[in-house]
Amino acid sequence: MARAPSDAPLESEAGELEARIRREIAPRPETLRRLAAVREELVARAQSEAKQLGVPLRRALVAGSAARETFLEDRVDVDLFLLFPPDHTREALERDGLALAGRLVESPEVRYAEHPYLRGKSGGFTVDAVPGFEVSDPSRPLSAVDRTPFHQAYLLARETPELVDEIRLTKRFLRSIGVYGSEAKTQGLSGYLVELLVLKFGGFRPLLRTVREWRPPVRVHFTAGSEPRVPQGIPLIVDDPVDPNRNVASALSVRNLALFQLAAQEYLARPSEAFFALRPARSLPLDRALASLKQRGTHVSGIALPRPRLVDDIVYPQLYKAERAIADESERLGFRPLGTASAAEEESLVLLLEVEHGELPSVRAQRGPPVGLDRVGSFLEKWEAPAAPVLQGPYVRPDGSVGVETRRTLRGVEELLTDALPRLPLGKDLVRELRPEHRFLPLGSLAATPELSLALAELLEKRLPWRAG
């Protein structure tokens, strides 16, 4: 009986590649020493400065990848959490937290998530100093960061040096294919989720073997019998070990889980350094995009809007909602959408739509009621009026209804979408920015801007990252 071919050569090739990548991405000893000193100093200074300020700081801790050393050498940020009593008001938390944080970091800048925090520098590292509450039950947080100490304790108790290496390798893989990060813009896997999955399945390659076989929606349990409450359409459900009713993977999109699965399948079949390569953000200049459209024979419309003064995590969900609304409306109008894209910069937003054709025919067939209904008389009367824009009819259609062919007054996708703009569900903050002068324009009439080039690459240069060449 013939034996199946051995996978040993492939396993050996992957092992050698992964060992080399682990060495390349591992933090340097000097980085780890500097980072340990900064962590210790930040916590000590937070306690002493809190006493001087007279604010009731309960605890300061550095958590996240900088504390567990699961970061990559080229991407290390320090997350410092300043935890106050649960009976502190939200207003006092923000006031005291920002005042304390301002004494701990250099060149502080106010940033916004669920509530304000400070970003600055310490010891050459970027530090996010985030206020929160010290709670006793992680399933009942008072702010979005209150579970963090429990996450830290859970992972530190279970992660070995070998697993830390596997976590870094997994993060680099996901970053290379563009699905690392749970922010609204990326809709990928958070660092905490990556660490949980590597811990659950025992390493980088065991995780890929598991992911390759998933058939969404997928549930990964850390707590027996847990069933996190999640909306329909969520592709992956991973219950939080410290709060079983929370889905750690709620930010992950259907597309990005599928991309992860395909990358896992292809890497296991053909290990390659391309799955770990870092690539700059793709950008397609306007002139090249117009040349591409000539080859494609399609039509691209777009609209530029002022950006609301809001953080990405609020803006991007509304941009993605606007993309869906524009695509749905174009299809309803009779234009077949091929794709949408969007991008945001500090001052402006851009939304793009590609359709098969940019203009509808002059004639539009309109179906009336079936013969025999009382409404037929009013239909005929309406369309036989002298001013009615009738090209043909009324007549009886093959299905027994009356019909008429009329002349369209608006035919171009830009004018029709602009006419529909006030009623489209673009997202409340985008709608507030709309003005009468905001119109859809053909691609060639849009101003060439950095955000337009980013959106054009997303729209017209879709490809698998590891096969990009």
Contacts of 457-462 spanning 24+ positions with Cβ under 8 A: 457/281, 457/282, 457/283, 457/284, 458/282, 458/341, 458/342, 458/343, 459/300, 459/339, 459/340, 459/341, 459/352, 459/354, 460/284, 460/289, 460/292, 460/293, 460/296, 460/300, 460/354, 461/282, 461/284, 462/339
Predicted confidence band at 51 (pLDDT cuts at 50, 70, 90)?
Answer: very high
pLDDT digits (tens, 9 = 90+) for 328-352: 999 999 999 999 999 998 888 999 9
Residue 6 has a pLDDT of: 46
State how far the Cα of 461 lies from the Cα of 282, in Å rounded to an integer: 9
How confident is the model at residue 290, as a pLDDT?
A: 96
Higher pLDDT, 202 or 4: 202
Domains within the chain, CATH numbers bracketed: 26-145 (3.30.460.10), 159-275 (1.10.1410.30), 286-359+411-463 (3.30.70.590), 363-407 (no CATH)
Strand partners, 180: 189
Region 136-150 average pLDDT: 95
What is the per-residue pLDDT for 347? 86
Average pLDDT value for residue range 210-229: 84
Q: Give me the helices (H) in 118-253, please.
A: 148-156, 161-177, 191-201, 204-212
- Rounded to whole angstroms, how far apart are CA atoms 130 and 215? 38
Q: Mean pLDDT over all residues of the chain?
A: 92
95-102 mean pLDDT: 96
What are the structure tokens assigned to 37, written together?
A: 């000193």
- Kindly tell me if the per-residue pLDDT of 228 is higher than 80: no
Is the model's pLDDT at 104 over the cut of 60? yes
Range among 38-47, 74-83, 278-287 with highest mean pLDDT value: 38-47
Is the confidence at residue 9, as pLDDT, over 80? no
**pTM for the full predicted model:** 0.89
What mean pLDDT is predicted for residues 112-121? Answer: 89
